[in-house]
Amino acid sequence: MESEPPRESEWRHDYLTDRKVIIAGNRSNRPGAYSQKMSFESIARCPFCHGNEADSPLQLHRARLKNSRTDWDVRVVTNLYPALEASSVKGYGRHEVVIEAASHTTQFAGLSPEQIFLVSQVWQERLKELSQVSGIKDILLFKNNGPAAGASLQHIHSQILAMDLVPASKKLELAQALAYWKANAGKNYFTHWREEETMVAHRVITDGSFFSFCPYASRAPYEICILPRRVQPFFTGVDPEELLELSVLLKDLLEALGRNLNDPDYNLVLHQSPVQAGVLPYYSWRLEIIPRLTVEAGFELGTGYAINSMPPELAAQQIREWLSNAQETKIPLV
């Protein structure tokens, strides 16, 4: 691999997803390279705010911080407009919303590490409970932060979709990871991935219990992947001490992006093993942060290939600098 950001356009391939992208750094200076930030439609009353609980659907779970002044700080409800439903035969599943703050908060990075830790604990609890539901085969947890990322409400929240099938993209990842494991005497691909990025170094952002980097074949400008150093197939296996470190890391990374990219809309996606697959020795959970600074146009829609105008080597360098300049950064930088 190259030792500096590419000066010319090039195709890159991601082994795990078998996905190809074009890295075209020469396009970053063109007019309209990064799309304008979209705004939410105004609403008279937010159904996610404390005091408006009657406006939201069935409550499934609530949690509160120690010494909290409210009766809940994180709340889980069924989705008012579910993509999948328990009562549906042809679209069976569960669709939940995790309301991540009682007050009308619009940025996840604005939460304290303790609040993000509480949210992460609720994520674990809901993933664990949904994995026990009959017929559920895979669960996706994600955040659509901002209208460009697909959010319809400004109040910060995440969603959990439990499905009665394993998506084709997940099946491909499992097959790729298994093939690597078999071809390399039982070595986990995710361990190899972290070691390879560490050797190359210039795409690495932080290295601790969790390893953050801008992937070689990033689909979007400033895309970040977070891998656990302790490889495990399920997010529910992260212990409390690690979870607190992950909470600090998420806050610092999202603050850095927000401060320097004008609070971009973004998607956060948690990938983990299918729930009925057991403990797979060759697969690991991971988190992706994908800023929505560009839009899919004709080429992307026509081919399925992304064009990324920000080389990940340069993106990682800038994010490291942003973290270094932040007064309260406490995570180990490379």
CATH assignment at residue 220: 3.30.428.10
Same domain membership, residue 214 and residue 153: no
Mean pLDDT value across residues 79-108: 95
- 46 labelled binding-site residue: yes
125 and 195 in a single domain? The answer is: no
Is 155 annotated for ligand binding? yes
Q: Does residue 127 lie within any of the structural domains?
A: yes
CA angle, corner 40, sides to 124 and 107, nearest 5? 40
Segments forming the whole domain that contains residue 105: 53-163
Count of the separate structural domains present in the chain: 2
> Does residue 48 fall inside a structural domain?
no
pLDDT digits (tens, 9 = 90+) for 281-333: 999 999 999 999 998 899 999 999 999 999 999 999 999 999 998 855 455 55
Q: Looking at the structure, do residues 154 and 173 belong to the same domain, yes or no?
A: no
- Compute the mean pLDDT over every residue in the chain, rounded to the nearest whole number: 92
Which of 134, 163, 192 is the C-terminal boundary of a domain?
Answer: 163
Residues present in the chain in total: 334
pLDDT-derived band of residue 260, with 50, 70 and 90 as boundaries? very high
Residue 240 CA, chain-centre distance (Å), reads 19
Write out pLDDT tens, residues 130-178: 999 999 999 999 999 999 999 989 999 999 999 999 999 999 999 999 9
61 is in an annotated binding site: no
- Evaluate if residue 84 carries a pLDDT over 60: yes
Residues 185, 314 share a domain: yes
Same structural domain for residues 180 and 142?
no
**What is the percent of the chain where pLDDT is above 90?**
84
Domain end marker among 135, 163, 191: 163
Question: How many secondary structure helices (H) and strands (E) does the chain include?
Answer: 6, 13
Question: Residue 61: exposed, middle, or buried by beta-carbon count in 10 A (0-12, 13-18, 19+)?
Answer: middle
Query: Quick one: what percent of the chain has pLDDT higher than 70?
Result: 91
Residue 261 and residue 159 in one domain? no
Flag whether 334 is in a domain.
no
pLDDT reported for residue 330? 52
Q: Is the pLDDT of residue 235 over 90?
A: yes
Active-site hit among 13, 95, 157, 202: 157
Catalytic annotation on 271?
no
Worst-scoring range by mean pLDDT, 33-42, 91-100, 145-154, 221-230? 33-42
Whether residue 85 lies inside any domain: the answer is yes
Please check whether residues 140 and 237 belong to one and the same domain. Answer: no
Nearest CA to 38 out of 147, 145, 143, 144 is that of 147
- Strand 19-23 with 306-308, pairing: parallel
Alpha carbons 303 and 301: distance in angstroms, whole number: 6
Given this model, what pLDDT does residue 31 score?
47
Whether 43 maps to a domain, the answer reads no
Are 158 and 121 spatial neighbours (Cβ–Cβ below 8 Å)?
no
- Residue 49 assigned ligand-binding role: yes
Average of per-residue pLDDT across 247-254? 97
In the prediction, which pLDDT does 329 show?
44
d(CA 123, CA 333): 27
- Residue 68 resides in a domain: yes
Is residue 12's pLDDT more than 50?
yes
Q: Examine the domain organization and report whether 316 and 183 are in the same domain.
A: yes
